Amino acid sequence: MALLTVTLLIAAAADLAPLEQELSQAFEKKTGIHLRFTLGSSGLLAQQIENGAPFDVYLSANEAFVKKLTETGILDGASVRTYALGRLGLWGVKDLQALASPSLRHVAIPNPKHAPYGVAAEEALRRLGLLEGLRSKIVYGENVRQTYQYARSGNAEAAITSWTLVLNEGGVLLPDTLHDPIRQSGAVVKSSRNAAEARAFLDFLASDEGRAILRRYGLSEPRARDEGREKLLP
What is the pLDDT, as a whole number, of residue 223?
A: 63
The Cα–Cα gap between 59 and 27 comes to 16
Neighbours of 209 (CB within 10 A): 13
Question: Are 66 and 144 a contacting pair, CB within 8 Å?
Answer: no
Burial bucket for residue 198 (CB in 10 Å: 0-12, 13-18, 19+):
buried
Task: Compute the residue count for the chain.
Answer: 234
Please, what is the angle between helix 195-206 and helix 20-31, to 10°?
A: 110
What is the pLDDT, as a whole number, of residue 220?
A: 84
The Cα–Cα gap between 147 and 111 comes to 9
* Residues whose CB falls within 8 Å of the CB of residue 137, separated by 6 or more in sequence, listed in order: 99, 104, 105, 106, 107
- Collapsing DSSP to helix, strand or coil, 13 comes out as strand
List the chain domain ranges.
Answer: 7-86+183-216, 88-178
CATH fold match for the domains 7-86+183-216 and 88-178: yes
Q: In CATH, which superfamily holds the domain spanning 7-86+183-216?
A: Periplasmic binding protein-like II (3.40.190.10)
| 206-215 long-range Cβ contacts below 8 angstroms, 24+ apart | 206/81, 206/83, 209/26, 209/30, 210/23, 210/26, 213/19, 213/22, 213/23, 213/26, 214/19, 214/83, 214/84
The Cα–Cα gap between 213 and 13 comes to 16
pLDDT tens string, the chain, 234 residues long: the values are: 345 689 999 999 999 999 999 999 999 999 999 999 999 999 999 999 999 999 999 999 999 999 999 999 999 999 999 999 999 999 999 999 999 999 999 999 999 999 999 999 999 999 999 999 999 999 999 999 999 999 999 999 999 999 999 999 999 999 999 999 999 999 999 999 999 999 999 999 999 999 999 999 999 887 644 323 333 333
What is the pLDDT, as a whole number, of residue 14?
A: 97
The Cα–Cα gap between 222 and 84 comes to 6
User: Which pTM does this prediction carry?
Assistant: 0.91
88-178 CATH choice from 3.30.70.1150, 3.40.1360.10, 3.40.190.10, 1.10.10.10: 3.40.190.10
The Cα–Cα gap between 208 and 223 comes to 14
What is the pLDDT, as a whole number, of residue 5?
A: 83
